[in-house]
Structure 1
Amino acid sequence: MNTRNKRAVQHRPETLAKREEILKVAALMFGEKGTSNTTLQDIAGQVGMTHAGVLHYFGSKKGLLLEVLKYRDNQDVADLEGKRMPGGLDAFRHLIKTAEENMKRPGIVQTYLILSSESVTEGNLGKDYFFSRYSCLRAELSEALGKVLVGEQGSLSDSDRTAIEDAVAGILAAMDGLQLQWLLDPEHVNLARASRFIIETAVSAVIDPHENCLDRNR
């Protein structure tokens, strides 16, 4: 079979449907049992395939894990208008909802943290995915917060833009860090509640700046 015909087969409806089925099952199993306790053979058995059959679609377990993360991203916005993150303050409410949902799928959170930390190494399979994901999230959230601020005051100053960029980067970093703390010590770290606090604090600091308490008594 030549390359052209092979690509045609890969995009047949039944092939895409099977791929979707594998991703759905893998997301559920990784979410419940974690990556180390779930094998490709386990997943293959659930979808009526062989280990080699799953590899045919995704190449490796790491390849499947990355596709599961992309699948999760798509599912998180599947019910939203335009199948994308909402604008304005709803974008940040969506982040809070995502943190709440993540408490139900610790295995997926673990997968995300492991692969994202590995992505900083040169030539890593997930580097492009995570670079693109963070870039897109920063852009979407910055646009959302910028529109709120324009609605409040009519325009954006350079300092406003800097504050927005810093707030958005800080929110994403804090959410990732909270996920790690939550996995390590779920008894003392409430992922949803702490994420809400960070998001509300950062957004409020941009929209309605107040006194910096750390400047007191200097």
Structure 2
Amino acid sequence: MTRSSTGATRSRPETARKRTEILQAAIETFGAKGSTNGTLADIAEQVGMTHAGVLHHFGSKQKLLLEVLTYRDESDVAELVDQHIPGGPELFRHLVRTAYANALRPGIVQVYAVLSSESVTDDHPAREYFQNRFRTLRGEVRAAFEELCAHEGITDRSTIATASASILAVMDGLQLQWLLDPDSIDLGEASEFAITAIVNGVLRPGPALDSHVESDG
């Protein structure tokens, strides 16, 4: 019993290290080729394993795909005290910090962009993940707006739902532009500008766009 227990204890760090290597290889593979064209054989080759060895750690390609997304989420909050994104006004600052951090980790941004786009197709294994992710994030951003409006004494909160969806959309859209042309887009700066503009639009709404456009008459 003692020998078996000791052996198991010694093997856990090695197992964890190998799983992390596989996840990092999967991020590179799925980011470059997508989840359909990227194969377990591609991933196995990068980490010096067999196809069966990868399956031993993750069971199936679908499970590995979902683990990649979980790994990506955990990396977002790894340095936070409770490993969870903050609430209230601090959430907006966290989103800006995340954008600047993402500019230093193109592999994770790429796999997120590829898999989120693929997830709109029928029966994609990550479809439910992204549906739940966006639903949860919209709720958290809405709650942050509600708290911020209460603090600032803002009573008109009719734009909060639209603003919450817009912040997520602009962050993902800027990531796509940056991936396609990184020399033309400063991901952190552009994201900070957009998030600030949307927050200010809720707190200090200006006239509608139509009022700035002259009529044909």
TM-score (structure 1 length as normaliser):
0.78
C-alpha distance in 2, partners of 1:191/1:67?
26
The match for 1:169 is: 165
The match for 2:47 is: 44
Counterpart of 2:147 in structure 1: which amino acid?
K
The match for 2:68 is: 68
Q: Deviations over 1:150-198 (max 9, x none)?
A: 11117x55xx1x3111111011111111111111111111111111111
Using the TM superposition, give the Cα deviation of residue 103 of structure 1 relative to its aligned residue in structure 2, in angstroms: 1.2
CA distance change for structure 1 residues 58 and 97 in 2, over 3 Å: closer, same or farther? same
Counterpart of 1:200 in structure 2: which amino acid?
T
TM-score (structure 2 length as normaliser):
0.79
Using the TM superposition, give the Cα deviation of residue 212 of structure 1 relative to its aligned residue in structure 2, in angstroms: 4.1
Is contact 2:25-2:43 (8 Å) kept? no
Is contact 1:171-1:199 (8 Å) kept? yes
CA distance change for structure 1 residues 14 and 74 in 2, over 3 Å: closer, same or farther? farther
Q: Deviations over 1:64-116 (max 9, x none)?
A: 24312211212211332332111222111111111111111212211111111
CA distance change for structure 1 residues 17 and 118 in 2, over 3 Å: closer, same or farther? farther
C-alpha distance in 1, partners of 2:134/2:209?
30
1:191 aligns with 2:181: no
Is contact 2:85-2:91 (8 Å) kept? yes
C-alpha distance in 2, partners of 1:92/1:190?
18
The match for 2:107 is: 107
Larger radius of gyration: 2
C-alpha distance in 2, partners of 1:142/1:13?
45
Aligned length: 200
The match for 1:129 is: 129
The match for 1:210 is: 206
Counterpart of 1:40 in structure 2: which amino acid?
I
CA distance change for structure 1 residues 103 and 27 in 2, over 3 Å: closer, same or farther? farther
Counterpart of 1:171 in structure 2: which amino acid?
I
Is contact 2:96-2:188 (8 Å) kept? yes
CA distance change for structure 1 residues 146 and 17 in 2, over 3 Å: closer, same or farther? farther
1:153 aligns with 2:153: yes
Using the TM superposition, give the Cα deviation of residue 129 of structure 1 relative to its aligned residue in structure 2, in angstroms: 0.7
**Partner-residue secondary structure (3-state), 1:121:** coil
Give the fraction of aligned pairs with identical amino acids, expressed as a percent. 44
CA distance change for structure 1 residues 40 and 14 in 2, over 3 Å: closer, same or farther? farther
Is contact 1:27-1:72 (8 Å) kept? no
Q: Deviations over 1:104-159 (max 9, x none)?
A: 121221111111111112211001110111111111111011101011117x55xx
Counterpart of 1:176 in structure 2: which amino acid?
D
C-alpha distance in 2, partners of 1:136/1:19?
32
Superposition CA RMSD, Å: 2.8
Is contact 2:26-2:43 (8 Å) kept? no
Counterpart of 1:56 in structure 2: which amino acid?
H
Structure 2: which 5+ runs fail to align? Answer: 1-7
Using the TM superposition, give the Cα deviation of residue 60 of structure 1 relative to its aligned residue in structure 2, in angstroms: 4.2
Structure 1: which 5+ runs fail to align? Answer: 1-11
Counterpart of 2:167 in structure 1: which amino acid?
I
